[in-house]
Structure 1
Amino acid sequence: MGRTRTNSSTAEDLLLDVDRSAAEPLHRQIAASIRDSIRAGRLRLGASLPPTRTVAADLGVSRGVVVEAYQQLVAEGYLTSRAGGYTQVAAGSVAARAERPAGDPPPVRIDFGYGRTDVSSFPRAAWLRSVRTVLTTTPNERFAYLDGRGVPELHDALTGYLNRVRGTSAHPDNVVVCSGFGQGVSLLVQVLAARGARRLAVEDPSPDDDTRLVAAAAGLEVVGVPVGTDGILVEHLENTDADAVVLTPSHQWPTGGVLSAAARARVIAWAQRRRALVIEDDYDAEYRYDRSPIGAMQGLAPDSVVYCGTASKTLAPGLRLGWLLTPAHLVDDVAAAKVLADRGSPVIDQLTFADFLDRGEFDRHLRRMRPVYRRRRDALLDALRTRLPDLEPVGVAAGQHVVAWLPPGLDESAVVAAAARHGVAVKGVSPYRLAHPGPGGLIFGYATLTERAIADGMAALADAVATLR
């Protein structure tokens, strides 16, 4: 059932337009004003109207006039009323349906959008248990202003989890809680720019997130470093003269490459030689299907690597929970930037996640979701083999998306446009390239789609591609 909303308490709040000098009876004027408000959406479905006595007193009319107006609107279906209860709006505004211009693509039926997680599987009951625990056991002082690093309980819980599962070498004193990767990298860029950094290297291709915009706003030059089968090409990085580099070494976005142990060692040696910083975006490493766990780079060189993690791909992006494992020499400056940005992340959310981690609920949620995502990935790969066998999928062993390289003769932008005409939304790789060209490819996100939807989407995409051959 919908929740009742009390929209008004006086006639003045209803904005009733009553003209005593008009020939039209007052009850009809009142009814017309309320009817117009409902049609315009000012009074929404379920909103409660003031009692007739209140309206009559405010307008200086007899109660019978208002009762007659209400009864007329009840008869017309605009209001509903029951003895001893509120009079409520029973009809909603009807918006005009926009005509789709001729030539526009049909509505999207299947969306292979990337970077999403299945929020319908959010563990509400377990999260609620942690919320209740926090609200009943947390000391009062935790609800006061804290420093920019966040609450100590979450520092302890995060380092325990990350050291165990991701192979980090983290101390609770080095954790800074933030609102996702976007804010985390923004804080780091601000600190680096203040310390004299002038150039930021990023993978090419790389996400179209805020990193480049934030770096440019801080006065940093952004340099793209080409990516190979296994991730960033270190020999190109070594020639950039960069002060920091943003990497996705455990599952390169979007190609899915995994940076080898030798390449990681070279990146760390480069960073230590230049006194540069490696910003490790570990965005979806918890989801792996066909390979052994791959530890985080931060564990190899905690003084040269900032580890960035979030709950966006594992739980829900709407939580706006992220964390940085920061070298000791940067912690205070990053925490100060966090205070300047927003005075700190919400305390109850931090404490809830800490309890959620300590209870083992995070591990249980990941164990539940891995087979779900694996089945969806398998459905996507099966559909590719059956419907479009000349597309080459890569980066399939982990994560929540797959890149499929297009064969020669198929233009990426033409495929994306043809897919849209068939009701399928899919992104190409080319828009995420900075300076280094490469083959055309499609990015298939599968986390939010059922196996049936994936099969239907690939069938429609195959029909779209057939029109181009």
Structure 2
Amino acid sequence: MQIPLLLDRSRPATLALQIVEQLRDAIVQGRIAPGARMPSSRRLAHQLDVSRNTVVRAYEVLTIESYVEARPASGIFAATRLPESQLRRPPPPVPSPEAARVPMPLPQAPIRAQDLVAKARNRLVHDFFPGRPSAALFPLKTWRRLIQASLSHGGAAGLSQYSDPAGLAVLRTAIASHVATARGIVADVSRIVVTGGVQEGINLAARLFLGPGTIAAIENPCYQGARYAFEACGAQLAAVPVDGDGIVTDALPRAPAALIYVTPSHQYPTGHVMSLDRRHALIAWAREHGCYILEDDYDSDFCYEGSPLPSLAALAPDCTLHLGTFSKSLGAGLRLGYVVVPEPLTAAARSAKALLNNGNSWLDQAALAEMIRSGSYAAHLARIRVRYKESRDSLLLALRRQFGSGEVSGAATGLHLFWKPPPGVPDARVLEEIARRARVGIYSLPSGGACDVTDSETARRGVILGYAALLPRQIEQGIARLSEAIDEALELPSQHLPAAPTATSHHLALRFAHQPALRPSSLPRASSRPDEPAESRLPMPIVSSIYRYPIKGLSPQRLDHVVLQAGQTFPQDRLFALARPRSPIDAHIAKWAKKGLFVMLMLDEALAEVRTHLDVETLDFTIQQGNRQLLAVNLASEKGRFEVEAFFQRLVPTLNGTPRLVRAETGGHFMDKPDNVVSLINLATVRALEAQWGFEVDPLRFRANLYIDGAEPWEEFDWIGRDIVIGDAVMRVDRRNGRCGATNVNPVTGRRDLDIPGSLRAAFGHKDLGVYLMTRKSGAIAIGATVTVPQRSAQTAHRPLPPPPPPTPERRFMCRGCYFIYEEHRGLPQQGLPPGTAFADIPDTWRCPDCGTDKSNFRPLVLSAA
């Protein structure tokens, strides 16, 4: 290290003292980093043209003052901790008033740039950032081999001298071959300029054609980086709307434009693919007005349905600048892309590139050229295309399961979806903040690198969801957590409930509630579980009760039997609902929406004051309070529906308006989940919770369709992914049921007297209770029907109690993705981790068995003392 020191031999101070003063100031001001190696006495003496003894004396003084430290056989180093008298660094010198009279110049125009490395994203567990490929799929072994081969063959010469600013000839040749095959662009090598990514290509085109007073046309909404680059050149922007077929060519500007920027392969952010007719119309307009087309071939490598349309550069090479990148297929850290320019622009493009940075890294260019030439790049594309399609399918399925009828575009190609949530979900900015509090990253247009100059509905409601960097299970977990976060945003009153209330005795209304699942010893056992030794009990679970809720949020109806149809929901369950005033629910075609748009017990506890009954055949509807009938109408008549709406407006004063009674569209429903599922609760699990928590839990808090008894606690979770037979119906156990704040409400009193989700999470690290079923084969189910689980072993049916805790402290680690808890004393024998396996000894490649999260996202779990 060479330190700038200036010695003044005319000063009375000795040279050694001057060296001490200047080195001391450099260390205190941070110009010499703490712990940095100081130059040797011989080297510093040679630099300053002084005797070595002078430097040695200076170092001795600094050592005594604790500014440097000498390490035997290593050298002299700057102290890592300064003396206490010098902990506060002196402020920078303030210029004198005479020197500060002339203000420093400012940029002629404010320069804006998108932020792609927001630090807040590091805290996200499920990050749906758009356009980010999977790091796990990067061909690291292949790339390492290519790098080593490039260094071995001409590496010294390539790294030590300038290369062509347009890029290595071998890489441009490989790119020409690639675009000819993949995009139909036949281009001479001289027309290709290697760039540091698409953004540099946009800046290159802006330098060539834009300046103050020129017009640049952009899509609306549009990629943020293009807009900022054009504004930085002083160009005027002409925003052109897009629809399902891409840019609306009828709305193209009539004034002469110098450049038009489009993303025809996967419009950013909406994901629409420009139709072939629109492509021809755009080319005709560009030729007529003398305007160059800047074609950003964004996401063209990932077409999942059919064949990709020909690029604009293939259709019109004379007026199109074609931008390509390797950031999506390999990684943004590579910083390599390209632009294919028309023949007349080759010299100008090369000169503009030379002014920007005089070329890209030789080593990366050489490795990429060989990767394309050898066919490894094409094989890599084919491999990741399959993997990304699986992630896309998982995201579509998760959105359909959790949100139902939301509008999705951009699924045919690319690495992201554009999603407009259904009614009941907040606008994109609010939704983004709700998701971020749940450590889920979703992106509105501004935070996702897009912009809309008109503040349209697309900008207000649109959400960008990237999926390439996430595993299918992580996607499912992330969207489920997003759905729960939206529901919990309605549950603020429940946030201060006690997580573990003291044991109390609740007197439940027996007419509409189960008996407490924790059975007192004085009560006889149910007939399905006779009082006999455990060895003789049948392990076959049975259906103990069946319920439906014809009107969402109102009283349940107990059934003796039900006939389920394959692929359909529970018959007449949540058929009607009371839409809240001013909610965006179409009363004529009422589709599924988030429960926050409807009157429900969780928010409107006054509903517990009455009991309702609906005859689903005749639609006769009655409301009672105690033994007194308050209303009897028929919902088939407009007058009857009006009376019901008026009644609940009076009953629930917090509504601030008249609710609307709506009926689900044909085949639809208003259950909490949009897909056709049947909910099931295992009463043994509820009893186990009662025994553990010390208070009674009315099973009707969970508002399930089927309640079974005779199984082991929590056994239903083992059935997920398997087919079971209930009565005559075959059901697929689809997934767990994550409980929300609605379970905090007592179904009898309407009071929020428990915190079920919080208690579950504190006890088990998750808030799941019960499962969702999907009907695979139609059939009848009656009370007392058996539940047949194939391959249900005796070990599963009669699990031993967990062993007593060991005397040594138990260490637990919780997954930040799904709250799965790894316990070292139990291990995971099914994954080859025997009991006692320390978390530190688990391989780094291990992932969470529930959500697939990396081991690095686990954190120690410290349980508070009882």
The TM-score bracket by the shorter chain reads 0.7 to 0.9
1:245-256 aligned within 5 A: 245-256=260-271
- What is the match of residue 31 of structure 1? none
- What is the match of residue 445 of structure 2? 429
Q: Does the alignment pair 1:415 with 2:428?
A: no
- What is the match of residue 137 of structure 1? 153
Flag the 1:239–1:125 CA change in 2: closer, same or farther, 3 A. Answer: same
1:53-202 aligned within 5 A: 107-138=123-154, 144-193=161-210, 198-202=214-218
CA contact (8 A) 2:217 2:260 kept: yes
CA distance in 2, matches of 1:119, 1:197: 43
- What is the match of residue 76 of structure 1? none
CA contact (8 A) 2:256 2:291 kept: no
CA distance in 2, matches of 1:175, 1:50: 48
- What is the match of residue 207 of structure 1? 223
- What is the match of residue 360 of structure 1? 375
Q: How many residues align?
A: 413
Q: Which amino acid is the alignment partner of residue 200 of structure 1?
A: A
1:148 deviates by 2.6
CA contact (8 A) 1:106 1:422 kept: no
Q: Which amino acid is the alignment partner of residue 475 of structure 2?
A: I
User: Secondary structure of the equivalent of 2:417?
Assistant: strand
Flag the 1:324–1:84 CA change in 2: closer, same or farther, 3 A. Answer: same
- What is the match of residue 29 of structure 1? none
- What is the match of residue 98 of structure 1? none
- What is the match of residue 443 of structure 1? 464
Deviation per residue, 1:50-98 (Å, 9 max, x gap): 99xxxxx98779x9xx9xx9xxx9xxxxxxx9x999999xx99xxxxxx
Decide which of 293, 316, 320 is 1:305's aligned counterpart: 320
User: Secondary structure of the equivalent of 1:169?
Assistant: coil
Flag the 1:159–1:105 CA change in 2: closer, same or farther, 3 A. Answer: closer
Decide which of 477, 485, 492 is 1:464's aligned counterpart: 485
CA contact (8 A) 1:415 1:464 kept: no
CA contact (8 A) 1:393 1:404 kept: yes
Q: Which amino acid is the alignment partner of residue 309 of structure 2?
A: I
More displaced stretch, 407-416 vs 229-238: 407-416
Gaps of 5+ in 1: 1-7, 10-36, 52-56, 74-80, 93-103
1:145 deviates by 2.7
User: Secondary structure of the equivalent of 1:443?
Assistant: strand
More displaced stretch, 285-294 vs 219-228: 285-294
Greater Rg by CA: 2
CA contact (8 A) 2:443 2:464 kept: yes
Deviation per residue, 1:312-349 (Å, 9 max, x gap): 11111111111010001111111111111111112222
Flag the 1:400–1:135 CA change in 2: closer, same or farther, 3 A. Answer: same
1:457 deviates by 1.2
Q: Does the alignment pair 1:268 with 2:279?
A: no
CA distance in 1, matches of 2:462, 2:486: 13
- What is the match of residue 106 of structure 2? none
CA distance in 2, matches of 1:335, 1:351: 19
1:213 deviates by 2.1
User: Secondary structure of the equivalent of 2:464?
Assistant: strand
CA distance in 1, matches of 2:415, 2:424: 28
User: Secondary structure of the equivalent of 1:357?
Assistant: helix
User: Secondary structure of the equivalent of 1:278?
Assistant: strand
RCO higher in structure (CA 8 A, sep ≥6): 1
Deviation per residue, 1:290-309 (Å, 9 max, x gap): 23233321101111111100
CA contact (8 A) 1:197 1:243 kept: no
User: Secondary structure of the equivalent of 1:427?
Assistant: coil
CA distance in 2, matches of 1:240, 1:257: 26
Flag the 1:417–1:156 CA change in 2: closer, same or farther, 3 A. Answer: same
Q: Which amino acid is the alignment partner of residue 431 of structure 2?
A: V
CA distance in 2, matches of 1:324, 1:197: 25
CA contact (8 A) 1:106 1:420 kept: no
Decide which of 332, 340, 356 is 1:325's aligned counterpart: 340
1:436 deviates by 5.8
- What is the match of residue 240 of structure 2? 225
User: Secondary structure of the equivalent of 2:295?
Assistant: strand
Flag the 1:137–1:107 CA change in 2: closer, same or farther, 3 A. Answer: closer
1:282 deviates by 0.9
Q: Does the alignment pair 1:293 with 2:308?
A: yes
User: Secondary structure of the equivalent of 1:168?
Assistant: coil
More displaced stretch, 285-294 vs 172-181: 285-294
User: Secondary structure of the equivalent of 1:461?
Assistant: helix
Flag the 1:357–1:402 CA change in 2: closer, same or farther, 3 A. Answer: same
| Identity between Structure 1 and Structure 2 (%) | 31
Flag the 1:333–1:361 CA change in 2: closer, same or farther, 3 A. Answer: same
1:115 deviates by 2.2
1:226 deviates by 0.7
Give 1 or 2: higher helix fraction. Answer: 1
CA distance in 2, matches of 1:140, 1:444: 44
1:126 deviates by 1.4
Scaled by the length of structure 1, the TM-score of the pair is 0.76
Flag the 1:197–1:329 CA change in 2: closer, same or farther, 3 A. Answer: farther
Deviation per residue, 1:224-257 (Å, 9 max, x gap): 1111012111111254542211111011111111
User: Secondary structure of the equivalent of 1:184?
Assistant: helix
CA distance in 1, matches of 2:419, 2:217: 26
Flag the 1:106–1:300 CA change in 2: closer, same or farther, 3 A. Answer: closer
CA contact (8 A) 1:106 1:421 kept: no
CA contact (8 A) 1:159 1:171 kept: yes
More displaced stretch, 373-382 vs 182-191: 373-382
Gaps of 5+ in 2: 3-27, 41-52, 82-119, 491-595, 597-866
1:221 deviates by 0.7
CA contact (8 A) 2:267 2:298 kept: no
CA contact (8 A) 2:213 2:234 kept: no
User: Secondary structure of the equivalent of 2:222?
Assistant: coil
CA distance in 2, matches of 1:217, 1:87: 49
Decide which of 268, 292, 306 is 1:277's aligned counterpart: 292
CA distance in 1, matches of 2:309, 2:141: 31
Flag the 1:197–1:301 CA change in 2: closer, same or farther, 3 A. Answer: farther
CA distance in 1, matches of 2:385, 2:152: 33
CA distance in 2, matches of 1:278, 1:221: 16
- What is the match of residue 401 of structure 1? 416
Coordinate RMSD, CA, aligned: 3.9
Q: Does the alignment pair 1:343 with 2:358?
A: yes
